Structure 1
Amino acid sequence: MTSEYRHIPVMLDETLAELDPKPGEVVCDCTLGGAGHSVELAKRIAPDGLSIGIDQDDMALSAAAARFDKEVPNAEFLPLKGNFRDLDALLLKAAVPGVDCFLFDLGVSSPQLDIPERGFSYNEDAPLDMRMDPGKDTPTAAEVINTYNEADLSRIIRVYGDEKFASRIAHQIVETRKKAPIETTFQLVDAIKRAIPAAARRHGGHPARKTFQALRIEVNHELDALEEGLRAAVRWANTGGRICVISYHSLEDRIVKHVFSDLSQGCICPPDLPVCVCGHVPIVEVRTKKPLVADEAEVKANPRARSALMRVAVKLDVTSAPTEVHPVARPYA
């Protein structure tokens, strides 16, 4: 286990510029991790602002609290354990009236990868777990690998991992588990290597990278959680509130683009109607028509930033719009 929860915040300068946190505001980091973004955001809203950090990993929450005490001792920090898909319940329970800045950094924090027993890494031999919250009684990667049929495995690996050898890998997994269950990361890596042609294994990085990514997304239901959490964030954002999302996968970015586009849509009535009857009004203004990317200097210093895509939206004034009602009488987006 790593002695410190290390994490290099991706696109930090862009995050600070786009969220533009001001003294006294409320900031919610929905993917707290190593608190690299949160600490810098907190410095700009302290001492009267509130920094909220959400993570389903107890180690991340503890490390973040210690880091806040050391680096921003005058900041008010509220750690909340959970998944951002439960944002409504978490903020309601914490009695938060509204939020000015939301951040979603969707990458997996390096300590989770570095701790062998978590089962995220194809470079360390460990039980196949991959649950972001290992304390929850939910299916592990091993259970997925050993119980899903070949068609479902192929679909997950192809769609979530963008792996062109998905069908071959799924077939090899099924053939391998007939002899004995696949229970460790290296057992799975061996099966993947047997499935991918030797020539292809010599290019494009580690041959198991895409399959491991796909399993992580499946085990943690990451794509479903993203849309739910993002829509909840817009509901809780104050007028003028900024929502910033950093994604690392085309499927994630597509969801963010879709949600922001949907919530920025105005009247959807047929053009031949003389007056609007749909009542549909824009809830957000999309600030990034195309996603922002890390500059060359950052990519060189932190290769993890290479695939980062940032999208930002701003909450509009919808107090007079005909909308549904949030459980605590906040406007629904």
Structure 2
Amino acid sequence: MLDFIGTILYPIRWVVEAILVFWHWVLVSVGMSSTSGLTWVLAIVLLTIIVRICLIPIFVRQIKNQRRMMEVAPQLKKIQDKYKGKKDQFSREAMSRETMALYKETGTNPLSSCLPLLIQMPVFFSLYTVLHNAQTGKVGIGLLNKALSHSFANASLFGAPLHETFTHSDAIQVKLIAGAMIILMTASQFYTQLQLTSKNMSPETKASPMFRQQRMLLYVLPLVFLFSGLNFPLGVMFYWLTSNFWTMGQQYMVIRNSPTPGSDAALAREARLAKKHQEREARGKNNPITSGPGLTSLTEVAVTEAEAPKRVTTQRVQPVGKNRSKKQGR
């Protein structure tokens, strides 16, 4: 089983090592120490940013699907209420068919919200494997040669080796840094779920069973980070913490600029737009170029020019000879 997973992760590990070594080379080229723990930490952070940039299209699809799921939540509740208390096989199958038909009709997928997390997991485990192999003196499978692997294995930040974990280290530096990072990981995950459930859900969604599930995730996911972070190497925790901060900022921008209709965030956005519109109108009225004393506005100039009488041009009358005049008279 482990060999099968290793075979699947092999190309991902190769890419992870290549990106990590590339950023390490860039940082060393600008003057940083090749053996410094800070250099490797920054390389991990830049690796995380590259991964998250690649996941932006999937994140956009996730946001759109979450919005559709929130919109169909009242319809899902009606289906659930229709078969509430019915536990026979026929009713369960009918409820499943109607639910799947609703998903198909609205183009929603309840599993797509987990897609970015699932895609990140191979990268996460690949980085974990790279750190573990470096710790045990194994050479990487790609560009992480023996010298770089040895440098990565012995790199430390403020005296804390990057391959150490909170539970398997007696160094006070490791416990302080790991403890602070676990708190930040837990808090960032909690805030990310909180801004989703409190600001970006309509009143209809908050009255549906889906909202209860989201509220449950609000408390469950931070606990997962709290307990699993105790066994994460510091290098892997830097990756996950950077990813959490990216998710928090990215979701904040989406909720601010494209909130769910009817949610508190949508009402706040409408208030901001109305305020900006009023400010623009006030600036237009007080602008000395267009409405100052003694000056004529551009609109008034245009109206004046349009209403000004146009010059009438008449054709000059040619003189007519006597013979020609007589012919015209006849």
Higher relative contact order (CA 8 A, sep 6+): 2
Return the TM-score normalized by structure 2: 0.25
Higher strand share: 1
Return the TM-score normalized by structure 1: 0.25
Higher helix share: 2
